[in-house]
Structure 1
Amino acid sequence: MTASLRGRFPAIVFAWATLTLPAISALAEEARQHTGDSQQQTQQTRTQEPEYPPLLPLKASYSASMDKGISLSGSATRSLAEREDGTWIYRTDVDSFIADIEESLVLRWENNQVVPLRYRYKLSGFLIRDREEAIDFDWDNRVATGHHEGDSFSVALEDGALDPMGYQLQLHQDIRAGKREMVYRVIDEGDFDTDRFAVIDEETLQTDRGKITTVKAEKVRDADSKRQTLMWFAPDQEYLLVRLLQVEPDGSRYEITIDEAEIRR
């Protein structure tokens, strides 16, 4: 999921799109009006945190399903690996009947923060239009440049700016560190969006391999929004994402569940 499909194709990236579907316009507008306050609050929250856990190389595979009148299924693989130069490569590959997705991010991990360097996204599929997006981050000159569906863009960088993949990794690390409310400024399609998340509960999931104790989080939306995104992270497995569920306003459900994972501690 997220591979990010914010505004690209309705929730067909089974595993990752549901994390990056369009933000409620009212929430986004409010966030833009209070960007300075949000950034200051976010930075203050980070400085109050104790020691963050280090990044851990991982590879996880998921089964994905979509029920929208008919049931469809696919698979997704997500990996995180450190490179020889000290940067990291974060990848998602989705394979389904409807679409294939390749998404990657080269990043640095500095001061408990994902620092995106190079983001790439490609969607190709059956009876749908191919989509591509690229973002290059020039932190020395404080500018991000790229293209979305053939249109070029240039955006002035804010402190803590993230991309459609980087904020997902930051969310994982923030929850591992014990945070319960998170706000991210994300560049996608040539502009900034504000994404908010909150940990809301602890829950035990019954799986084919037995019971798993999880921390349950949600994407915070407007009170009148009928879309719901829920995520379950397993503390005993370094807070690995083990389930994600999105319910659309029309009742359609999109879900991923973990099959297997390898974490190198």
Structure 2
Amino acid sequence: MPLKLSPTALPALLAGALLLGATLAHAADGQEDVALQPMKLSYNASLDKGISLNGDARRILEQRDDGTWHFRTDVDSFVADIDESLIFRWENNQVVPLRYRYKLSGLFIRDREEAIDFDWENNVVSGHHEGDKFSMTLEEGAMDPMGYQLQLSQDIKAGKREMEYRVIDKGDYDTDRFAVVDEETVRINGEDIRTLKAEKVRDSDSKRESLMWFAPERDYLLIRFLQVEPDGSEYELTISDAKVGR
């Protein structure tokens, strides 16, 4: 039976799920600032009945010499190649995006590019999406498609159970909502790991489901991601390797 895989669903899944793999240093009670930890993460990907994608998915977070941070995703597979990056400042436990870039290419997939530049001094955000340029007022706390998911990991660690973010994507603002819904023990690479299970909150009539499992004892690292499409197809990422810290 053929897989019900659209040519655009999987690249979007890989990019979105890997963004959620960010992990941050834990703050002691009363500590004003939380320090980010550099990291290198790798994930295995499968679709439907565990069929391998035969691809590599990597996520890297590192600090630059000027104190800003570089956050990037590299996906190499027979389905698609994704290069995604964000330059940002970490201030008052918040991601402050400065420069976002995204490029998708692959077989049977239309190439796509997006760029977003944040001018916080003049409160203007500008860029282009698939060749269409845009410029608009920059809202306080606004984020890019990578930054808000880095922030999600931190907010769950801080004890929040319902999160909402204003995200600039495709030349406009979106509101994305998430909630922690359960605590589960999951088995990854032969090991039982206690996790907090979160989901993306969608309209009640939506048939798409996005679930994430974060491991509190592992600095709230995302260890599993599952997306169920309206046609019943399932796409899953599980962590294969992680290096956190300097």
* TM-score tier (shorter): 0.7 to 0.9
Matched with 2:153 is: 172
Matched with 2:47 is: 66
CA contact (8 A) 2:177 2:200 kept: yes
The CA deviation at 1:207 is 2.0
What do the CA deviations read for 1:124-162 (whole angstroms, capped 9, x no partner)? Answer: 101221110000000001011101111110121111100
Within the alignment, does 1:10 sit opposite 2:21 as a pair? no
The CA deviation at 1:236 is 1.1
Matched residues, percent identical? Answer: 66
Within the alignment, does 1:129 sit opposite 2:128 as a pair? no
What is the aligned residue count? Answer: 229
What do the CA deviations read for 1:87-123 (whole angstroms, capped 9, x no partner)? Answer: 0000001111110000000000111110000000000
Matched with 1:158 is: 139
CA contact (8 A) 2:43 2:241 kept: yes
* SS at 1:84 equivalent: coil
Query: Aligned match of 1:261 in 238, 242, 246?
Result: 242
Which 5+ residue runs of structure 2 have no aligned equivalent? 1-6, 20-29
| RMSD (Å) for aligned C-alpha atoms | 2.1
The CA deviation at 1:254 is 1.0
User: For the residues of structure 2 that align with 1:179 and 1:186, how far apart are their CA atoms?
Assistant: 19
For 1:196, the aligned partner's letter is R
Matched with 2:190 is: 209
Query: Aligned match of 2:200 in 209, 219, 222?
Result: 219
Cα pair distance change 1:200/1:53, threshold 3 Å: farther
* SS at 1:16 equivalent: helix
* Structural mapping, 1:107-146, within 5 Å: 107-146=88-127
CA contact (8 A) 2:18 2:73 kept: no
User: For the residues of structure 2 that align with 1:181 and 1:241, how far apart are their CA atoms?
Assistant: 17
TM-score (norm 2): 0.87
Matched with 1:197 is: 178
TM-score (norm 1): 0.81
User: For the residues of structure 2 that align with 1:18 and 1:227, how far apart are their CA atoms?
Assistant: 14
Structure ranking higher in helix proportion: 1
Moved over 4 A (4+): 49-52
What do the CA deviations read for 1:156-207 (whole angstroms, capped 9, x no partner)? Answer: 1111100000011000111111111100000001000000001111110112
User: For the residues of structure 2 that align with 1:123 and 1:210, how far apart are their CA atoms?
Assistant: 34
Query: Aligned match of 2:211 in 230, 237, 244?
Result: 230
CA contact (8 A) 1:135 1:146 kept: yes
User: For the residues of structure 2 that align with 1:19 and 1:263, how far apart are their CA atoms?
Assistant: 15
Within the alignment, does 1:249 sit opposite 2:230 as a pair? yes
CA contact (8 A) 1:94 1:100 kept: yes
User: For the residues of structure 1 that align with 2:95 and 2:185, how far apart are their CA atoms?
Assistant: 30
CA contact (8 A) 2:15 2:82 kept: no
What do the CA deviations read for 1:11-61 (whole angstroms, capped 9, x no partner)? Answer: 3344233689xxxxxxxxxxxxxxxxxxxxxxxxxxxx9746321111100
Cα pair distance change 1:112/1:171, threshold 3 Å: same
User: For the residues of structure 2 that align with 1:62 and 1:15, how far apart are their CA atoms?
Assistant: 10
CA contact (8 A) 1:53 1:176 kept: no
For 1:183, the aligned partner's letter is E
